[in-house]
A = this chain, B = another copy of it.
Amino acid sequence: MDAKGKKILIADDEPDILEVLQYNLVREGYEVTTAKDGEDALIKAKSTHPDLIILDIMMPKKSGVEVCEILRTQPVFHDTLILMLTALNDEGFQIKGLESGADDYVNKPVSPKVIVSRVGALLRRSNKESAEKVLKRGNLSIDPTKFEVVVDDRQVTLAKKEFELLYLLASRPGRVFLRNEILNQVWGNDVIVGDRTIDVHIRKIRQKLGLDCITTVKGVGYKFVN
């Protein structure tokens, strides 16, 4: 996937800043949404699921720090990049910003160049790990955009959870995923499901693929092999 074409949400109460940033980021190829205060930011974040959110710390309704903290409690936004905008010499807030879960922050007055550079750096950094691309492992092909798995020219239909589980395991072949890791990644941090749930999904995957590509590591977890 391209580094560009990513979705960015900008939240600031100063229309001038919104406009300047939007203009510059759009020119770089990003898809930009804007919000005018903290609550608006939360609503827009939920509806558009951006890859990166730029939050001004000083905003009406809810501050950037508050918005950040709220977002971080939700699994969907666990990996969403957050970039804070803060007034100079506002040390207390700078620290609070990082502690609340922001990935980076930039001092005001903002320079478009710096913002673009930082946004690029953040996205590049995260891109390495979580890029959604087609995985090919031997005679197995897993396409997350089409939500499709192909084994030896035979197309297999997996349910959502089954697919996500397989994709997770196949994303790092050989690596053992602990049951906890799997729960966090596929189900989310706060969801509580029974012990056998993972097993049952693993079974279904093995059954449907008709392929012995998932190995059980007793007492530890599961891993993808090929």
Contact = CB atoms under 8 A, between A and B. Distances in A.
| Copies of this chain in the oligomer | 2
B113 A95 contact: yes
Contact of A159 (B94, B148, B159, B218): B218
Interface string A168-183: 0000001110000000
B220 A145 contact: no
Given A98-B118, A104-B104, A160 B218 contact: yes
Interface string A153-192: 0000001100000000000001110000000000000000
Contacts of A118: 98
A20 interface: no
Interface in A106-135: 107, 111, 113-114, 117-118, 121
Given A98-B118, A145-B175, A148-B174, 20 more contacts: A91-B111, A91-B113, A91-B114, A94-B114, A95-B114, A95-B117, A98-B117, A99-B117, A145-B176, A146-B174, A146-B176, A146-B223, A147-B176, A147-B220, A147-B223, A159-B218, A159-B219, A160-B217, A160-B219, A160-B220
